[in-house]
Structure 1
Amino acid sequence: MNWFAQNISTAIGKKLLMAVTGFGFVGFILMHLAGNLTFYFGKDAFLTYVETLHTLDPIIVVVELVLLALAVIHVSTGTILFFQNRGARTTRYAVDKTAGGRTIGSRTMPYTGFLILLFVILHLSQFHFIDHAVQTPWDAALDTFNNGLFALIYMAAVILVGIHIRHGFWSLFQTLGLNNEKYMPLIQTIGIVIAIGAAVGFFFVPVYIRMVVL
């Protein structure tokens, strides 16, 4: 335990925590996207997906608690690193000069992360913390995306998620020391595919609802 505490107190240890928790969120985002894609198959398909999740309530509760723990670790660690980096501008981490270079994603990670956090809170209030006896998730989606402002906020937010994932994915391998020159181009390509796939998949849900369903 002392070994663990000593390691996470270092900058590299904190980056490892960010990498591991970030990887967990990438997995969750892909699973969440798979569920949201049922929107394109109509109300019955989507509600069947939701009902299937409800049959797994005990497991879902555990998953939600794990995600909450990951979020607390990721956000708090990221905040600490952000302020530490601001106070040590003369000794930048090697990530600036290696595989990913200085990209929009690398320069804006703390800011996109903060905006994504705000969006997640708003998103949960719109979809998760609803009275399911009064409103189905399908109806909640229609009511929410019928509001043009929120539809735009949602689409902007998922673009930020894509940018965040694009940098975070290859940075995970960088942090773990797996940035072999032979494989890094492939890792970057996979990260780009995941980032674009997630952003596009989520982006067109409100577009589809507004243009086809409503």
Structure 2
Amino acid sequence: MKNKKILLEAGNWVWSLFTINLAWFLLNFPLILMTVIIWNFPMKMNFFMLNTVLIGMIMFFLIPSITAVFFGIKKWGERGNGEYFRTVLKCWWDQAFDMKLNGTIAIIIGLIVTGLKFFGENSIMIQSELLMISIFIIMFIITMSFLKAENNYSLSNVLNITIHHPVRLLVGAITFITLIGINTFLKLAFLIMICSVSLAALITTSLFKNASLKPDKGEKE
């Protein structure tokens, strides 16, 4: 009986993790396909058209969906095991129209993609510089997404986590990069769909759990 209960709880835990990640995967599947196309596309004028589409998809799907994953993780912690597919979709829709912030980040990512495509293939130095910029962007996206999910997003709290918890932030970024990278390079597509981003967000949330944050007075509780 005890073993059965443990297995049932483990199954419910995996189910919660899966439903959060599945929502993220379905939202970003067109973006994943577009990234593959762009990376293998000849360096012609059409590349810039495709990259513009990519920027729009990053702005509307990727960035708000990461915030939604963190929100799903938060609700999971509050409510316990369950189905969070619709919770993630609802939060994504609420976050999708923050055009100014999402658009700025998306444009920077688009410029990084352009730099890698045109200048990075033959220059290790440029690759290294763009890689460092990419890591900083990932760290910012993670921090922003966590804080938005906690209803505490503000520049002061972004700086607070960056300055006072740099190791936790770096570990969170490395966790995202590692889980997605391993699944990509090993071609474990099923893991990308099942748990890659949701597991990374769960680990990162645990890392940031005790971070001291100032309440954002501009947001509703």
Same fold (TM > 0.5): no
Considering Cα pairs closer than 8 Å and 6+ residues apart, tell me whether 1 or 2 has the greater RCO. Answer: 1
Q: TM-score, normalised by structure 1?
A: 0.36
Higher-Rg structure is 1
